[in-house]
Structure 1
Amino acid sequence: MASCDVCNVCDSPGTFAGASDVAPVACNVRAFANDTFTFWRCPNCRSLHCREDADLERYYRAYPVKSHVLDFWARAAYRNLLRRLARAGLAGGMSILDYGCGPGLLVRFLGEQGFSSVTGYDAHVAEFADRAALDGTYDCVIAQDVIEHADDTRGFLLDLLKVLKPGGMLAIGTPNAAGIDLARPETFSLSLHPPYHRHLLSEQALLDLASSVGLEPLARYRRFYYDTLWPTVNYRFLRAYVRRAGNVLDAAFEPPRVGLVLTSPLLWAHALLGYFYPPRSEMMVVFRRRPPESA
């Protein structure tokens, strides 16, 4: 990993020295809650960057996402994600790679839904760390909450292209830097999430970068795939719940604190109605890789 004082996303990169939008942000993983990092916004592309270097192997060893299970909430969210992909053209016979799959819940869910060729890869999870998964090419590549973890954003996109067939579908879900207010870092802790999140793109920066490597958008969503009409399965509720539970990501993967919800009118409101007023801090774009002759 490397420190970041120059934007590595856009063609006219801004610098930390010239940034006016800067804020200290605490790590929101319980084991590292005393660690603070600096985020700054590129004045050109509006992307956000974590300035400091970090020993990410140390941080990933205590990563709470590894304890995620395929429960009711995960299944409801994955059904929503699958609907997005199906609308963009995903069909049962296609080969799928979940790049950055964590404990493999989406891999398992898609298998349950009848997809017979689903592969997971995640360098930080032993079960899925075999790079042989990257030797082939796929009809569909899913990278949900991954690109922001990459130290080299453009290089990461190019790596995804290596495993995506021409004409194939690439789904990228990531925080939208344009919807994050650095003056309120506690509110946006799930999106900022240092030091795991290295570079958070604005929507326009993602579109521009993708176009430059031969990708064209098929669909755009300005809300998290977790947003459903099921009570409590929406991002507004999740963000508020985590904040009330100590503002640590761990709370999202621990047994639900039912009493915390029952005694909070705000959480009740978010649980029932949060779908209808989603935060604008998350996005997903589904791309198609242009064939070589049209790239």
Structure 2
Amino acid sequence: MARIGATPFAFPEFHGATRRLVLVNLGAYFVLAIAGLAAPEAARSALGYLLFYPTTFLHGWIWQPFTYSFVHPTGLILSTLFELLSIWFLAGFLEAFHNDTWVMGLYAASVVGTALAALAIYGASVALSSSLVVFPLYGCFGGIFGLLAAIGLLYGDVQFQMFFVIGIKARYMAIIYALVAIAMMFGSMRMYAFAQLGGALAGFAFIRMAPRRGISFVFSEKWYGMRNGYYRWKRRRAAKKFEVYMRSQGRTVKFDGSGKQIDEDHDDKKRWN
């Protein structure tokens, strides 16, 4: 585990993945706010498509695990401000030690993991015929919880200022938030609480499974590997056809496994010299 000294309260650099996440969420907030003033009915209809509902997702609305995190109620200005500041602080801290692709992957995995956790508890309640108050998911709290879990796991000894005055290590702050979410599971907001824990677990899974150089690097390496393998196959295939053609002309040529021609005369000279 990385060990870093105590850190005073100060917001990190505003660039890369941090800037993109904050600006996209802020832009979505103002777009929905303006739409709500200009066309309230259309805005409410759009929210039905963007929010995450387990029932509509199961009926094919597969984009909702990605879009719900950009929905911030216009009446909850302080809540939205807290979320954006949390993204700035947490994502900016992680971006000082990882590249922006890694941070974006962690945030996206946490957001999707939050939605899947809500879907899981909904499915369990239906299977067990238990009563569950179903709320649509909105906001980026799941991504924030995943970022916080990552900091607690990777940089647990870093000291932050909780509520701007109380010094606390990152690992303990993550544990406190997890305990609060667990306590909420005994109330009516248990789906939200379970979803938050799902975001944290998705963050843990991303840290354990994702490569250090980012998901995009792995995909690019896989793509280039598949492309090069296809070209090698084409070369071997062309070599076999050429062997057949040369035999029909009364000549013999040979190729190795990679499709390169074997110069037998050259090999004999090397063997005897």
> What range describes the TM-score normalised by the shorter chain of this pair?
under 0.3
More strand by share: 1
Give the greater-gyration-radius structure (CA).
2
TM-score computed with the length of structure 2 as normaliser: 0.25
TM-score by length of 1: 0.24
